[in-house]
Copies of this chain bind each other. A is one copy, B any other.
Amino acid sequence: MLGMMQDWPLLCHKVIDHAATYHGQREVVSRSVEGPFHRTNYAQVRGRAMQLAQRLDRDGYGVGDRIATMAWNTWRHLETWYGILGVGSIYHTLNPRLFPDQIAWIMNDAEDRVLFVDLTFVKLVEVIAPKVPSLERIVILTDDAHMPETSLQNVVSYESYIAEADGDFAWVDLDERTAAGMCYTSGTTGDPKGVVYTHRSNVLHAMAALQPDMLNLSSRDRLMPVVPLFHANGWSTAFSGPMSGCAMVMPGAGMDGASIYEILTQEKVTITAAVPTIWLMLLQHMEKHGGSLPDLKRVVIGGSACPRAITQAFQDTYGVEVIHAWGMTEMSPLGTICSVKPEYAHLEGADKLDLQVKQGHPPFTVEMKITDDENQELPWDAKTFGRLKVRGPAVSSSYYKGRGAEQFDAENWFDTGDVAHVDPHGYMQITDRAKDVIKSGGEWISSIEIENLAVGHPEVAEAAVIGVAHPKWDERPLLVIVVKEGQSPSKQSLLEFLEGKIAHWWMPNDVVFVDEIPHTATGKIQKTALREQLRDYAFPID
């Protein structure tokens, strides 16, 4: 027997409808790519998204079409998403930090028909566009006055493109499982794999993400997503923000410490989100130039493990609570957040920081388990680590065109490729990537745990640990270090620093100093490249 409740499909554009209706005057402030700050609100964002949808519809774009964006976080980018969604098309975010050939490959794989691009990336697109035959039109996210000289064909400014439509339009009605968005994972090996979000997954994900134990977003917040919309579905901020009715502050292209500090304080941001690298830049800026963060209450840090020192600086020096988060493109992206359950509410100081090194616990809608290589579930004892697998309505069921099928099992468990342990209260901690874990004499050693400790050394700027072949133990850890400017710690002092903090058999067999550690486009350590770089390294024979 079916129940008797309304068939009200979960559609992304209902989110902007809600924001425009109940929070219509709420500010959306952006640092524009042209320079000046720009102020609008949800009612206007919706109105202009409606114009865009109408114009796209008139130009023959509709359900299922892939429409790409390569843009910073601004009001125009937000409007673009909703305009695309409202006509039933699929927003496809491109990461401009990838190599041009990679971007062209991705666009061809997705068969993007239109591209919305920021002024910043026009030169890049001039290189890419000729290699993407499916591309019919390029809309530059600016007005006519700021249109650049360009060799691109079929180019129009965003403002004149939407000016052609009066906004008298109705969102397209859709099945909630219709494809809504697309984002390719910046895999460190192999071809990129496309993740395809649905309207349903985006809406459910946002509803889960803004809950009190997760982002805790209310209409009284002012949210600044520093994490770009092209990184892992923009951490859902384009949906959870308007759904909560909070004000949004969009940092545009200003990604340096000074710009972030300026907009954070000037716009009285209460909650912000980005990867650790960004926060390191901000903290360094403030260390040098002084300053305080009186309005900022919470900073969400994820994308890679949040170093304890960052958490400590935010909390102890600036009174800002850190929310460590873990997720991935395939999870829309939220997996876990390290908010404090009552079991840990008594923790203070160092003990609290110890907790916050963990990636945290999932919201309702995310199931997780850890298993060994034979898919046997492992205990949640905060020690035993295994492959982290997840399931839920906003978790991928497959990649575009069926790639990477080995990551999905028959019961929908998705193998994240992360290795983690979980504590009895469900707090998960990533200990490694499955492919980076060091297998020493049949036992696993977490490269990340050693890295996290090593960066705590006062003279270390960055640390990486990789497994290197060893005649007796199969693999043993090698510590790779970038020293801070002007410092020159000894190998000995670095290893001594780790003593007592890790098991004796985890101790790296050697230390190597390098000028730079290679990173992926999203700022993570690129272990494959590092291993490649140190290919000829062999442990000293003792």
Which A residues form the contact surface with B (CB < 8 A)? Answer: 1-8, 10, 14-15, 18, 21-23, 25-26, 63-64, 90, 175, 177-180, 195-201, 204, 207-208, 210-213, 216-220, 243-245, 247, 332, 339-343, 345, 361-362, 364-365, 391-400, 412, 414, 425-426
Contact = CB atoms under 8 A, between A and B. Distances in A.
Contacts of A204: 10, 207
B341 A425 contact: no
A214 B18 CA distance: 15
Contact of A8 (B63, B212, B245, B412): B412
Task: Work out how many copies of this chain go into the complex.
Answer: 2
Given A412-B8, A426-B22, A64 B212 contact: no
A198 B396 contact: no
A128 to B, nearest CB: 24
B6 A341 contact: no
A397 B6 contact: yes
B220 A341 contact: yes
Contacts of A339: 218-219
A354 B24 CA distance: 22
Contacts of A216: 212, 218
A176 B178 CA distance: 18
Interface of A is mostly: loop
Contact of A5 (B217, B243, B343, B397): B397
A207 to B, nearest CB: 5
A168 B381 CA distance: 24
Given A18-B364, A342-B219, A179 B23 contact: no
A332 to B, nearest CB: 8
Nearest to A217: B212
Nearest to A427: B22
A393 B342 contact: no
A398 B412 CA distance: 34
A375 to B, nearest CB: 18
Given A213-B245, A364-B207, A178 B4 contact: no
Nearest to A414: B6
Contacts of A180: 3
Contacts of A195: 4
Contacts of A6: 391-397, 412, 414
A89 to B, nearest CB: 10
